[in-house]
């Protein structure tokens, strides 16, 4: 498996991948592939944090981290992470998350927020956001609203309501 930065020529294949990854998930909005397209065009987009996983020349996974705020402090949002259904269980999502964290840390980011499966993200160090005094601008189950400190004490003195970029179409 090769993980690399997503390139513009990958956009169509990634669109189809994200759509396929979410179409059978009951909690999916059905908008995930369009969210990726909107985020790429916005100010929150960080090209270095839009990654793809390739196997035998085929893109089988994608992850996107974009800028957001916790109160007045810059952070990242992980949304979405996508793996083609026939490649689930092979560690592709995990590899994308870990590589994304590594790059984000090197770029100076201190934290990442995610809304996702309570049983999946804690294995990477994600903890319930409310433990840090971080709240969402909408109702979300506390076990699904999580944050990770990419560096020790990455959230020290930081709390408040998160602010997603407008491309998320929240509110």
Cis peptide leading into residue 32 (ω within 30°): no
| Number of compact structural domains in the chain | 1
Q: Which of 125, 127, 119, 111 is nearest to 162 (CA)?
A: 111
Give the whole-angstrom CA distance, residue 14 versus residue 60. Answer: 9
Please give the model's pTM, rounded to 2 decimal places. Answer: 0.95
Please write the tens of the pLDDT for every residue from 20-31: 999 877 665 668
At residue 23, the pLDDT reads: 87
**Cα-flanking dihedrals φ and ψ of residue 46, to 5°?**
-125, 100
Question: Sign of dihedral through CA atoms 47, 53, 55, 60?
Answer: negative
Backbone angles phi, psi at 135, to 5 degrees: -120, 160
The answer for residues whose C-beta is within 8 angstroms of residue 28's C-beta and 6 or more apart is: 22
Q: pLDDT tens digits for 122-171?
A: 999 999 999 999 999 999 999 999 999 999 999 999 999 999 999 987 75
Cβ atoms 134, 112 nearer than 8 A: no
The CATH number of the domain holding residue 29 is 3.40.630.30
What six digits make up the tokens of 79? 């949304």
Which of 28-37, 66-75, 146-155 bottoms out in mean pLDDT, i.e. has the lowest? 28-37
Find the domain containing 43 and state its range.
2-168
Give me the percent of the chain exceeding a pLDDT of 70: 95
Give pLDDT, residue 171: 56
């Amino acid at each position: 498996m090769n993980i690399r930065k997503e390139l513009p020529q990958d956009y169509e294949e990634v669109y189809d991948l994200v759509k396929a990854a979410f179409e059978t998930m009951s909690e999916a909005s059905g908008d995930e592939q369009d969210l990726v397209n909107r985020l790429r065009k916005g100010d929150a987009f960080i090209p270095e944090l839009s990654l793809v996983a390739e196997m035998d020349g085929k893109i089988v996974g994608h992850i996107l981290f974009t800028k957001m705020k916790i109160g007045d402090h810059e952070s990242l949002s992980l949304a979405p992470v996508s793996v083609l259904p026939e490649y689930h269980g092979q560690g592709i999502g995990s590899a994308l998350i870990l590589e994304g964290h590594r790059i984000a840390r090197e770029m100076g980011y201190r934290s990442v927020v995610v809304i996702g499966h309570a049983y999946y993200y804690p294995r990477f160090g994600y903890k319930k956001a409310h433990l840090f005094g971080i709240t969402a601008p909408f109702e979300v189950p506390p076990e699904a609203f999580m944050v990770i400190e990419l560096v020790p004490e990455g959230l020290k003195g930081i709390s408040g309501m998160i602010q997603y970029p407008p491309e998320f179409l929240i509110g």
